[in-house]
Amino acid sequence: MNFSTLPLPQEMLTNLDSLGYKKMTPIQAEALPPILDNKDVIAQAKTGSGKTAAFGIGLLNRLDVKKFRVQSLVLCPTRELADQVAKELRKIARFKHNIKILILCGGESFGKQLGSLSHQAHIIVGTPGRVLKHLNKDSLNLENLETLVFDEADRMLDMGFMEEIQSVLEYVPKERQTLLFSATYDDEIIDISKKIQKDAISVKTVSTESANKIDEYFYEVSSKQDALIKVLSTYTPENVIVFTNTKIEAKELAENLQKAKIDAIAIHGDLEQYERNDVLVQFANKSCPILVATDVAARGLDIKELSMVVNYDIPHGSETYTHRIGRTGRAGADGIAITLFNSFEIDKADEYKNDTRKFESSESLKVKAGFEMKPQYVTLVIEGGKKDKVRAGDLLGALTGDAGLKGSSIGKIDIYDRQSYVAIERALIKEAHAQLSKGKIKGKKFSVWIL
């Protein structure tokens, strides 16, 4: 686990030691050998795992200081992360003089960045939107690029940067090393890896389980609605899908939960497509913690991290039950599945009894005083989308620039043909709405409202 076991120059090893890098973290020990061997790597790594040093040591070791051209590009989802990465790289780069690292992010003066780029740089750290803007203006040249890094790739996808990333890839040499770091390791990330990497070495230091780990509980109750509120108060899940067997019940339950200060929305077959989009976007971007759904309406719904599934009604058949609860406990996370049944459904519930499912007394469920469920984010809708050439970078730039929000206060960004949805931290939604309403995006005025 010592850095000295790696083929690194003594100057770098001495500098790493002075910075307190005594032993490699698991991600560094697994990823650095293939990175130093110039292989493509896809790595699962969370913030605080030491991933910046893992790719930073690799790209700095390869760097030719005398060649004053951009040799490495690190793409990050937010300005805060880009600043953090650049700071870390500058520390590691102290082993050699004159290594120039430049940050290119929205919210900063474009003209000032033009001036910095005219003097060239060895390493660029930036957000996809601003990097692409410089590439389109010919102020950034990546012909000599040797290493391309995607940091927090899953967050970039969440923020809608795929289009910008694809455009950036058109400017980089086909023969290059590509390093992809992501906190999650789902099908979407693996698919991206296949498209942008060659024979990538997979590094997983975060333990994952192939089978969903779901705790299944059954409760006999007299009032399902009261019991549901008790379940939410007892388990305090971050987000929940509640399944009902009819669309009328889905609609009524969502309305009744709202009256009980529990933020809920319903999805059922009577919704128009635009209404369905509004509902799904709000649930997926954490602007609403409870989604009440029928089985038909929930088809094709893919939520990466779902804390809990509740069967408000016992499903019609074990296949439907398995399909419902399989939405939680994915990618190694723990999941909870709750099934409520009344005295008329005891026979149906008995059919589900096995060695792993727990049939508990509903008396263990309690409502805490003043219990309510409010969302982490609220959704801002912009009346402009792909057809108006609105990109995620434009929205992020407007919000972090004129509106003065931090990138960390902005959640998922979804861009459709004519509309865009941005999740904003609840406490900042009014400020963001006011600033964006009076400001411009790409030099144009767009209608903006809170969903």
Residue 371 lies in a domain: no
Q: Which long-range contacts (CB under 8 A, 24 or more apart) does 405-410 make?
A: 405/431, 405/432, 406/78, 406/79, 406/80, 407/77, 407/78, 407/79, 407/80, 407/81, 408/78, 408/80, 410/78, 410/159
The torsion angle over the Cα atoms of residues 165, 170, 173 and 178, rounded to 10 degrees, is 20
Residue 372 lies in a domain: no
- Evaluate whether residue 220 is within a structural domain: yes
**Bridge-partner residues for 43, per DSSP?**
181, 203
What confidence score (pLDDT) does residue 403 get?
75
- Domain assignment of residue 370, yes or no: no
- What pLDDT, on a 0 to 100 scale, did the predictor assign at position 423? 97
Question: Where is average pLDDT lowest: 212-216, 251-255, 294-298, 329-333?
Answer: 329-333
**Whether residue 253 sits in one domain with residue 194:** no
- The answer to pTM > 0.75 is no
**Residue 93 counted as domain residue:** yes
My answer on whether 411 and 290 are in the same domain is no
Domain that holds residue 439: 377-450
- Residue where a domain stops, chosen among 204, 239, 260: 204
Q: Is the pLDDT of residue 127 over 90?
A: yes
Asked if 258 and 392 count as a contact pair (C-beta separation under 8 A), the reply is: no
Average pLDDT over residues 336-358: 95
CB proximity list for 340: less than 8 A, separation 6 or greater: 219, 221, 224, 227, 228, 231, 310, 311, 312, 313
pLDDT in tens, 48-61: 788 999 999 999 99
What totals of helices (H) and strands (E) does the chain contain, helices first? 16, 18
Rounded CA-CA distance 126/124 in Å is 6
Band (pLDDT 50/70/90 cuts) for residue 231 is very high
190 and 247 share a domain? no
Whole-angstrom CA distances from 8 to 13, 25, 352 are 7, 17, 59
What is the per-residue pLDDT across 351-376, written as a single tens digit (0 to 9) for each?
Answer: 999 999 999 999 999 999 999 999 99
Q: Within this chain, do residues 237 and 290 fall inside the same structural domain, yes or no?
A: yes
Is pLDDT of 211 > 70?
no
pLDDT per residue as tens digits for the range 265-295: 999 878 887 888 899 899 999 999 999 998 8
- Considering its fold, how many domains does the chain have in total? 3
Q: Is residue 369 part of a domain?
A: no
Say yes or no: 52 and 198 in one domain.
yes
pLDDT for 126 equals: 96
Q: What does the radius of gyration of the chain's CA atoms come to, in whole angstroms?
A: 25
Of 228, 284, 285, residue with least CA distance to 260: 228
| Pair 317, 399 in one domain | no
- Answer for the pair 388, 418: CB distance below 8 angstroms, yes or no: yes
301-314 burial, b if ≥16 CB within 10 A, otherwise e? eebeebbbbbbbbb
Per-residue pLDDT band at 318 (split at 50, 70, 90): confident
CATH number of the domain bearing residue 393: 3.30.70.330
Whether residue 164 is found in the same domain as residue 262: no
Give the whole-angstrom CA distance, residue 410 versus residue 379: 10
Residue that wins the pLDDT comparison between 47 and 119? 119
In a domain, 425, yes or no: yes
Tell me the percentage of the chain whose pLDDT exceeds 90. Answer: 72
pLDDT of residue 207: 47
- Identify the pLDDT of residue 250: 95
Q: Are 172 and 132 in contact (CB under 8 A)?
A: no
- If pLDDT is split at 50, 70 and 90, which confidence band does 300 have? low
Residue-level pLDDT at 276: 84
Residue with tokens 């001495």: 14
Which one of 204, 233, 267 terminates a domain? 204
Query: At residue 437, does pLDDT exceed 80?
Result: yes
- Tell which residue, 18, 20, 26, 24, has the closest CA to residue 1: 24
DSSP code, position 134 = H
pLDDT at 220 > cutoff 50: yes
Per-residue pLDDT at 384? 93
Round the average pLDDT of the chain to a whole number and report it. Answer: 91
- From start to end of 5-104, where are the E strands? 41-44, 72-75, 101-104
DSSP, collapsed to helix, strand or coil, labels residue 89 as: helix
Q: In the predicted model, is pLDDT for residue 393 greater than 70?
A: yes
* pLDDT at residue 37 greater than cutoff 70: yes
* CATH label of the domain that carries residue 168: 3.40.50.300
Q: Which two tokens stand for residue 317?
A: 């058949």
Instruction: Give the distance, in angstroms, between the CA of residue 37 and the centroid of all CA atoms in the same chain.
Output: 30
pLDDT-based confidence at residue 209 (cuts at 50, 70, 90): very low
Place of tokens 């804390």: 307
pLDDT of 108 reads 80
- pLDDT of 210 higher than 60: no
Instruction: Give the end of a domain, one of 204, 228, 255.
Output: 204
Displacement of CA 175 from its chain's centroid (Å): 29
For residue 13, tell me if it sits in a domain.
yes
User: How far apart, in whole angstroms, are the C-alpha atoms of residue 351 and residue 337?
Assistant: 16
